[in-house]
Structure 1
Amino acid sequence: MPATRGLMMFLWQSNEGLNNHDIHLIMWFVGIIALALAVQAFAFVMAASFASKLLLKLESLAERTEARTSPLLTRTTEVLDEISPKIRSISANVEQMSYTVRAKCDEVGETLSQINRTVTDANDRTRIQVARVDGIVTDALHTTQQVSHVVQEGIRVPVKQMAGIIAGLKAGLETFVKLSPFGKRRE
């Protein structure tokens, strides 16, 4: 803009080299520039008007929002101030409980490990004892069978021999009785 003003001042002061046609063109250009500036000023005024209306609406909206949210924010702040010590206390208690639970879990884990070792040891010992008892019972059964066989043979052979002896004695006695004078009478 300062350059345009400078050019205009130069052209109006030096009228000697200008003719009517040039002056007429300069006036048209100055009119166009003035019209453009007037349109620009009008647009700026309209924009400022809309901006002021928008600012008024935003301000009223902000006031309503502040009026509605102010009690809520105040109450929220009061509640937070009120429950803040409780939350700290709960947080500390939860932290303490987590340490206690962790320690107890470690103890339970150790106890379960000991129980598992004890049960495994008892199971191994029981297997060994069962195998031992099984061996003892098997040996006892074999020994009993052998004893039974020996007893059977030990009793059966002498009984057979005794039966044979008794049968021989009986046959001898019967023969003797038949040959004796007592045996002849009966017949």
Structure 2
Amino acid sequence: MDQIIKHSFEAVSLLTTARGRLDVTMIPAYNQPDWLIPSSLILAIDSYQQWTDHYLWQQQQLPVFHLQAPEQAVDKIIIIEGNTAKQRMALQTAGELRQIQLCISEVRDIVLPKHYQQTSTADSIADSTIETSYQGYQSHTSSEPTIERNALDNNAGDYQQLTEENIISYLLQTVMIDEQPYLIADLDKIAHQLLAAVD
């Protein structure tokens, strides 16, 4: 009989199950559903009240993806593990994080609600795109000129810009829990986007 090869661990996978349950953390987000992150991916939660594009954590400069608008107060940085140490990143947000255990049967796939799809220029996070975040991050990690970055579209061979104002660009799945929508972001894609111009 052939040996069964265990699938390699991918840190960005949400459905890491233990006895049919999910350990997840709900993270507040502006102008989009709150994010669901596997609790095991959260390396640290630091209090931090200043808007920043980079964050020094354990002697590693991490790019920051903002979940709040620039004019809003922020109060914490969440360090997220990547598939490698180099692919770690940070999320900046404000508000209470909720850690819960879910049965898989309690999670229902849904389409992203229309009011989140129709983001206008006036209420988008236009000033906090990932491009802006990257420029600030790069200025602290390299003297190389900034290179325009694009994210690989998962459904085609073309590239599209990944921005914090464009939910669709990093949406992996939207789910419903207790009649409340939550967003599962493509963390691997965001990390890849942040690192693409460094290499």
Q: Choose between structure 1 and 2: higher helix proportion.
A: 1
Q: TM-score, normalised by structure 1?
A: 0.13
Q: Choose between structure 1 and 2: higher strand proportion.
A: 2
Q: TM-score, normalised by structure 2?
A: 0.12
